[in-house]
Amino acid sequence: MNLVGLFVHSKFRIGVVLLLTAIPAIVAASPAIQDVRIASQTDSTRVVFELNETAKQKIFTLNNPLRVVIDLANTNLNTPLPDGMGLVKSLRSASHDGVLRVVLDINGSADLQSSWLEANSDYGPRLVLDLQRTGTMREGVPAVLPPIAAVNSSANSSNNSSSSLNASVDPQPIKTLPANVGNSRELVIAIDAGHGGEDPGAIGRHGLREKNVTLAIARLLKDRIDAEPGMHAMLTRDGDYFVPLRDRIDRARQFKADMFISIHADSVKDRSVTGSSVYTLSGKGATNEAARWLADRENAADLVGGVSLDNKNNLLASVLLDLTQGASMSASLDAAARVLQHLDSVGDVHHSDVQQAGFVVLKSPDIPSMLVETAFISNSDEEARLSAPKHQAQLADAILAGVREYFYVNTPPGTRLAQIKATRQARNN
């Protein structure tokens, strides 16, 4: 008995030893770039390198042609580099003696600021490079809160570094989206077809997939919005592929969307439930999101025309966020109520008031956003209707009617729609 006990015991020990020797091998894995993201506003471009762990880095600039060089020790590149955008003409990479070198070719002259952001629950550690155009007028920046540039604090955190790039080449204009007509811009409506790719969304009893219905309605809505004078639509996805929720709002922001509309179809166990609902972001969702943006200043930068909030103190940053979020939430409610009213004439309405929830896609603090549950795919009648092109078109018409009404009442100045309204009023007088 004793012998057997000893034997078992020592076998157990061997197991433990093996396990312990395996751990250092995992820890010693070299850093790797997992994702590279680039975003651009009128006068600023941000490049984010997301790694699995931090790497020793050296960042410097070279002239003729102007470029930023990032050397990362002992690092692998596990993702393709994106195309250039804004101030970054192109990105390329090479490896020498265990050092990964990434080179950004720069358009024009710019200030460079770089920093490491710690890993959080959503992202690994990120090396963030911000390029801010210098030597150009700042008036053209479509910032939600224009005074931000004037209240720049000099209190940089210690792991940040700044330098100025002086270019010999002339600054080139950044491609603006969408096309501007004269001096006025078109309103941009971001349409988000829910789900996609490996995420089918809800599935009806007869096999209708939510991801296909949402895309069909989104495309019909896009056609209608594009046909409206002064309006232009973009789709967060235009095919059957998966787009992470946060990427959907990031895309809308890249296109400087004036409104975000997410299209879905509802589903519940009780198959008798029918009707459409419209959601905007709940107060709790907004509060949580503000805390998130404040905790992760990388994201908050995009809120104020691409100007980083990294250097702003907490109070100033939270005041700016509050103002932006408050305005967006009341605009969202107004527009959502109009859309709901028009949906009421197409079919059943499940909730007669705009509902509030913490859906991720509604969380852009600076873009009025709504989520439309067009009908219940779990109900057989509504499933049949949702698959019919005629009904899809009616839903798109109703959403368009609500959006159009909202923007004719709340017309942002400087837009082509504002010009159209002014011309009509002059004609009527």
Task: Please report how close the Cβ of residue 373 comes to Zn ion at its closest, in angstroms.
Answer: 7
Q: Which is nearer to Zn ion, 201 or 347 (CB)?
A: 201
Q: Which is nearer to Zn ion, 31 or 194 (CB)?
A: 194
H or E element in which residue 329 lies: helix 314-344
Task: Please report how close the Cβ of residue 195 comes to Zn ion at its closest, in angstroms.
Answer: 6
Evaluate whether 340 touches 354 at the Cβ level (below 8 Å): yes
Instruction: Tokens for 420, please give them.
Output: 């159209």
Instruction: Tokens for 329, please give them.
Output: 């939430």
DSSP output for 352-363: SS-EEE--GGG-
Q: Whose structure tokens read 């490996």? A: 198
Q: Which is nearer to Zn ion, 241 or 408 (CB)?
A: 241
Task: Please report how close the Cβ of residue 219 comes to Zn ion at its closest, in angstroms.
Answer: 17
Q: Which is nearer to Zn ion, 68 or 343 (CB)?
A: 343
Task: Please report how close the Cβ of residue 210 comes to Zn ion at its closest, in angstroms.
Answer: 5
Q: Which is nearer to Zn ion, 267 or 364 (CB)?
A: 267
Residue whose C-alpha is closest to residue 102's, from 130, 133, 67, 132: 67
Q: Distance between CA atoms of 279 and 195, rounded to whole angstroms?
A: 17
Q: Among all residues, whose Cβ is closest to Zn ion?
A: 264
Q: Distance between CA atoms of 238 and 234, rounded to whole angstroms?
A: 9
Task: Please report how close the Cβ of residue 24 comes to Zn ion at its closest, in angstroms.
Answer: 45
How many Cβ atoms from other residues are within 10 Å of residue 97's Cβ?
Answer: 6
**Longest distance between any two alpha carbons in the chain, whole Å:** 107
Q: Which is nearer to Zn ion, 251 or 264 (CB)?
A: 264
Q: What are phi and psi of 207, to 5 degrees?
A: 95, 0
Q: Which is nearer to Zn ion, 319 or 357 (CB)?
A: 357
Task: Please report how close the Cβ of residue 194 comes to Zn ion at its closest, in angstroms.
Answer: 4
- Using CA atoms, how far residue 150 sits from 147, 154, 163, 303, 307, in Å, is 5, 12, 19, 16, 11
Instruction: Tokens for 176, please give them.
Output: 């603006």
Task: Please report how close the Cβ of residue 384 comes to Zn ion at its closest, in angstroms.
Answer: 18
Which residues fall within 8 angstroms of residue 108, CB to CB, at 6 or more apart? 87, 133, 135, 136, 167, 169, 170, 171, 172
List interacting residues with Zn ion (CB under 5 A): 194, 201, 264
Q: Which is nearer to Zn ion, 290 or 395 (CB)?
A: 395
Instruction: Tokens for 270, please give them.
Output: 């009780």
Task: Please report how close the Cβ of residue 255 comes to Zn ion at its closest, in angstroms.
Answer: 22
Q: Whose structure tokens read 């067009």? A: 374
Q: Which is nearer to Zn ion, 84 or 201 (CB)?
A: 201
Evaluate whether 239 touches 193 at the Cβ level (below 8 Å): no
Q: How deeply is 288 buried, as exposed, middle or buried, from its count of CB atoms within 10 A (0-12, 13-18, 19+)? A: middle
Task: Please report how close the Cβ of residue 377 comes to Zn ion at its closest, in angstroms.
Answer: 9
